[in-house]
Amino acid sequence: MSSTQQRLISLDAFRGATIAGMILVNNPGTWSDIYPQLRHAAWHGWTFTDFIFPFFLWIVGVAMTLSFARRVKEGANKPQLLMHVLRRAAIIFGLGLFLNGFPFGLVSTHDFSWAVIRIPGVLQRIAVCYLIASTIFLYTDVRGQIIWIIGLLVSYWLAIKLIPVPGFGAGVLEPHGNLCWYIDSQLLAGHTWRGAPVPGFDPEGIFSTIPAIGTTLLGVLTGHWLRTDRSREVKTAWMFVAGNFLLLLGAILDMWMPINKNLWTSSYAIFMAGWANVCLAMFYWLVDVQGVKKWATPFVIYGMNAITVFVLSGLVARTMSLIQWTSAEGARWDVKSWIFQNVFAPLASPMNASLLFAIAFISVMFIVVWFMWKRKWFLKV
């Protein structure tokens, strides 16, 4: 089987490692005791946590290139592929809204109103980036896709720097007063994330989705490279070269537009695409070139049902927090806090106990996806 036809086990493993990391950082035992690397950077800069979302979007771009090539070979045309994209994007966006609203006020411990439901979110951004990047991919060649990437990242940069925000002026890069905050606060008033750095801002908001599309298209370029007939060794080497070039470029651009996940700055998009290239190159070299696969099996299992396990983990975590009761001593408990305090807190220091809870959580999720994997249940949207 040619390299353009063979499924990349390394990509499944990289996707699985990314989604496992996402679940890990989303589910500590307590949010008050977390290692700094398991939190997002407060504003400028980056931590381990800030790698995860751009990695997933970048992987979407790589997988899109490989998947569409296979579908075209099977006889699908562009309108058919576009309808598939529209359907899939709508489902993913709907799943994101469902997670944001769950359980829709059906239990007494949950307040819900359509008037204040959060509209943006991780899955919603994935859906929008997938839809727009897929459309660009279907109707342009590689040269056109490169032009789109440059256009998206440069235009976003210029807009942030040059368009004045009423009452603040142009070029504000602080949480309050930047262009992304202004657009979200005007167009999504009441529907942004309550945990955002400032009210009215959303880290998955409208305007900052523009460079996130660029991140997805940077993954598309890597997908094109993997489909070439060059040797696997050459592919690996040039992924490392491209990754390190993007890392250097992102670090240089950081001097003018800081690397910032909340704003998804152009420097952040480039820098994280560099890391994604380097990481996939390592996975690819070990798994698909050297054939060292056993260590990656747990990640592959996660990666084969990535969206499913992400949604399931969100539902389980929300449910654990909503089931509440009052003890005989008058203490108020929910399932998550009770398990953490009675099982994990006695085992280690607060930070380590919180981390142990997160590891146990992803282990339980792994059991679920392992059961699905053994029975070849792969839920596709």
Shared domain check, 49 and 21? no
Shared domain check, 213 and 132? yes
Shared domain check, 189 and 92? yes
CB–CB of 118/204 below 8 Å?
Answer: no
Residue where a domain terminates, one of 267, 291, 315: 291
Which phi and psi (to 5°) does residue 344 adopt? Answer: -100, -40
Euclidean distance between CA atoms 261 and 333, whole angstroms: 34
Euclidean distance between CA atoms 117 and 110, whole angstroms: 12
pTM score, whole prediction: 0.94
13-18: average pLDDT = 96
Residue where a domain terminates, one of 239, 256, 291: 291
125-142: average pLDDT = 96
Shared domain check, 339 and 272? no
Q: How many domains does the chain divide into?
A: 2
Give 299's pLDDT tier (boundaries 50, 70, 90).
Answer: very high
The two structure tokens encoding residue 78:
């562009």
251-269: average pLDDT = 97
Looking at the predicted structure, is the pLDDT value of residue 212 above 90? yes
Q: Pick the more confident residue, 376 or 129.
A: 129
Please tell me the predicted confidence (pLDDT) of residue 83: 94
Q: What does pLDDT average to over the chain?
A: 93
Shared domain check, 283 and 161? yes
Shared domain check, 277 and 360? no
Euclidean distance between CA atoms 16 and 19, whole angstroms: 5
Residue where a domain terminates, one of 272, 291, 310: 291
Percent of the chain residues topping a pLDDT of 70: 98
Residue 348's domain comprises 1-39+293-381
Shared domain check, 235 and 377? no
Shared domain check, 70 and 34? no
Shared domain check, 287 and 156? yes
Shared domain check, 326 and 279? no
Q: Is the Cα torsion angle 260, 265, 267, 273 positive or negative in sign?
A: positive
Shared domain check, 312 and 287? no
Shared domain check, 380 and 270? no
Give 380's pLDDT tier (boundaries 50, 70, 90).
Answer: confident
